[in-house]
Amino acid sequence: MASIIDIAGLTKRYASGFEALKGVDLSIEEGEIFALLGPNGAGKTTMISIVCGIARPTSGTVRVAGHDILRDYRGARSAIGLVPQELSTDQFERVIDTVTFSRGLFGKPRNDAYVEKILRDLSLWDKRHNKILELSGGMKRRVMIAKALSHEPRVLFLDEPTAGVDVELRRDMWKLIGELRQTGVTIILTTHYIEEAEEMADRIGIIHQGKFVAVGTSEELRKQSGSDGVLEHSFLALTRQEAIRMYTIENARVLLMEREVGSLEPGKRADFVVLDRDPLSCPLDDLPDYVPNHESPQTHPQLAARFPLNIVSPKSHAFLNSCYANMTNKQRAQGEQFVLINAADAAPRGILPDSRVRIWNDRGAFEAVARVTDDVNVGVVVSTLGYWRQPNHGTVNAVSSAAFADMGHAPSFSDNLVEVAPA
């Protein structure tokens, strides 16, 4: 059967240097149910985001239904239906209206008969005039699937479709996914439930630290891992998390740092770590999701020689989610603009408690009252956001970088080097 998704040499590298995907190659056949397994931070969501056009790859190619996701984005995206894990819908919309609207977003002409078929197949027809907020969690999940199917996609991505649902609803979802496959839709499923993948998927791909460690049927994965026939154990072995839990004492051969079990009786269950080598000889993997600071003594030593302190600037409590920071009562509740600094940093700079200080770098400067405290570490100063610049000859925003953080493209409020001195 012809493949509908072809991924070759796919990499994703962030500005920090962290590589979320490392040369991923994958081909998925049309009409297949493919389950994507992997620990948190393995690269599952990153790969789906790239295939769906939400994120751009660093290198490599992705083709969906013959369309390159970069050169022919519209063609590729029109072939894809995406059901995210989060329920993101207008809660006050009627079911039939939101599904019809989703179809129109892809330029599809109105087709009431097709929309009706989708809603009937998903047991939503009787709820078509209900507002989404009136539906149960399971029904809302079905609405998300209906929206994803509204433009007649050839590929359906389901990101954790059964996360947080009860056992009965999970079984219903499994049945629904099987029925969708009968219509010819290719389904790519991400899940943390290994039994779910085994129950539904034709093939399973295990991704770990940005690359696939195994792709195949559940039986092929068992053979590849050399495990005891339990798919969970295969997963643990293939991701180098070599632990097998809850064995009975009478049939487990346990290496537990040369200690004898002794006190445990046969037949009792216990958690053990089963290792095929000395645990002290096993180096720890690097933190898979660690993102270093944009500005730090480690990443920018020359800059740190001039501005040795790292400033952290959270949102102040009085101004949290408020656009009224200029109001007298708000300013009274928060008090003056301040900076927290450790005594070990304050003393050599001649900074006295409650004295006024200047905080600056090459981007700008502001003034604040110094609070000398052990609540912050040496080398770190804290000054909250939200104050007006006129009384303080600037604000903490003046020293903040314009660079965005890697997660969610949020402003970098914790990656800025500064110096502090008496005003």
Cα 180 to Cα 153, 183, 262, 357: the distances in Å are: 11, 5, 53, 65
Residue at 391 is within a domain: yes
Q: Domain check: are 251 and 316 in the same one?
A: no
Rounded Cα distance, 38 and 222, in Å: 16
Q: For residue 261, what are the contacts with CB-CB under 8 A and spacing of at least 6?
A: 249, 254
Q: Domain check: are 309 and 192 in the same one?
A: no
Q: Domain check: are 136 and 199 in the same one?
A: yes
Q: What is the mean pLDDT of residues 81-94?
A: 79
Q: Domain check: are 271 and 385 in the same one?
A: no
pTM of the entire structure?
0.54
Q: For residue 214, what are the contacts with CB-CB under 8 A and spacing of at least 6?
A: 204, 205, 206, 221, 224, 225, 238
Q: Report which listed range, 150-154, 290-294, 395-399, 407-411, is most confident.
A: 150-154
Q: Domain check: are 317 and 404 in the same one?
A: yes
Query: Quick one: tokens of 241?
Result: 């998390």
Q: Domain check: are 230 and 247 in the same one?
A: no
Q: Domain check: are 346 and 250 in the same one?
A: no
Query: With pLDDT > 70 as the criterion, what percentage of the chain qualifies?
Result: 71
Q: Which residues of 118-142 are buried (b: 16+ CB within 10 A; e: fewer)?
A: bbebbebbebbeeebeebeebbbbb
Instruction: Flag the least confident range among 48-57, 88-97, 187-196, 281-290.
Output: 281-290
Residue at 335 is within a domain: yes
Q: Angle of helix 218-225 relative to helix 231-238, nearest 10 degrees?
A: 60
Instruction: Flag the least confident range among 32-41, 107-116, 170-179, 405-414.
Output: 405-414
Last residue of a domain, one of 215, 235, 255: 235
Rounded Cα distance, 140 and 144, in Å: 6
Secondary-structure percent of the chain, ordered helix, strand, coil, rounded to 5: 30, 25, 45
Query: Quick one: tokens of 362?
Result: 């090459």
Residue at 215 is within a domain: yes
Tell me the pLDDT band of 405, cut-offs 50, 70 and 90: low
Residue at 66 is within a domain: yes
Residue 331, classed as helix, strand or coil, is: helix
User: According to DSSP H, which parts of 289-365 are helical?
Assistant: 301-306, 328-334, 343-346
Cα 115 to Cα 105, 122, 139, 327: the distances in Å are: 14, 11, 16, 51
Structure-model confidence comparison of residues 58 and 276, the more confident one: 58
Rounded Cα distance, 310 and 296, in Å: 7
Q: For residue 406, what are the contacts with CB-CB under 8 A and spacing of at least 6?
A: 14, 15, 16, 18, 291
Phi-psi region at 9: left, alpha or beta (left = phi > 0; alpha = psi -120 to 50): left
Rounded Cα distance, 333 and 349, in Å: 30
Query: Quick one: tokens of 372?
Result: 């000398």
Residue 404 predicted with pLDDT over 90: no
Task: Work out the mean pLDDT of the chain and round it to a whole number.
Answer: 77
Q: Domain check: are 225 and 91 in the same one?
A: yes
Residue 194: how many CB atoms within 10 A of its CB?
20
Residue at 296 is within a domain: no
Domain containing 337 — which CATH number?
2.40.40.20
Residue 286 predicted with pLDDT over 60: no
The pLDDT value recorded for residue 203 is 92
Q: Domain check: are 73 and 211 in the same one?
A: yes
Structure-model confidence comparison of residues 358 and 323, the more confident one: 358
Residue at 85 is within a domain: yes
Q: Domain check: are 278 and 403 in the same one?
A: no
Q: Given the DSSP bridges, would you call strands 365-372 and 356-360 parallel, antiparallel or unpaired?
A: antiparallel
Domain containing 157 — which CATH number?
3.40.50.300
Last residue of a domain, one of 254, 272, 291: 291
Residue at 91 is within a domain: yes
Residue 330 predicted with pLDDT over 90: no
Segment 346-356, tens digit of pLDDT: 999 999 999 99
DSSP 186: E
Tell me the pLDDT band of 397, cut-offs 50, 70 and 90: confident
Residue 192: how many CB atoms within 10 A of its CB?
14
Structure-model confidence comparison of residues 130 and 262, the more confident one: 130
Last residue of a domain, one of 257, 273, 291: 291
Rounded Cα distance, 257 and 220, in Å: 32
Query: For residue 4, which phi and psi values (nearest 5 degrees)?
Result: -110, -20
Q: Domain check: are 287 and 315 in the same one?
A: no
Q: Which residues of 268-283 are buried (b: 16+ CB within 10 A; e: fewer)?
A: eeeebebbeeeeeeee
Residue at 225 is within a domain: yes
Structure-model confidence comparison of residues 353 and 235, the more confident one: 353
What range defines the domain where residue 371 resides?
Answer: 301-422
Structure-model confidence comparison of residues 279 and 66, the more confident one: 66
Q: Domain check: are 283 and 219 in the same one?
A: no
Number of domains in the chain: 3
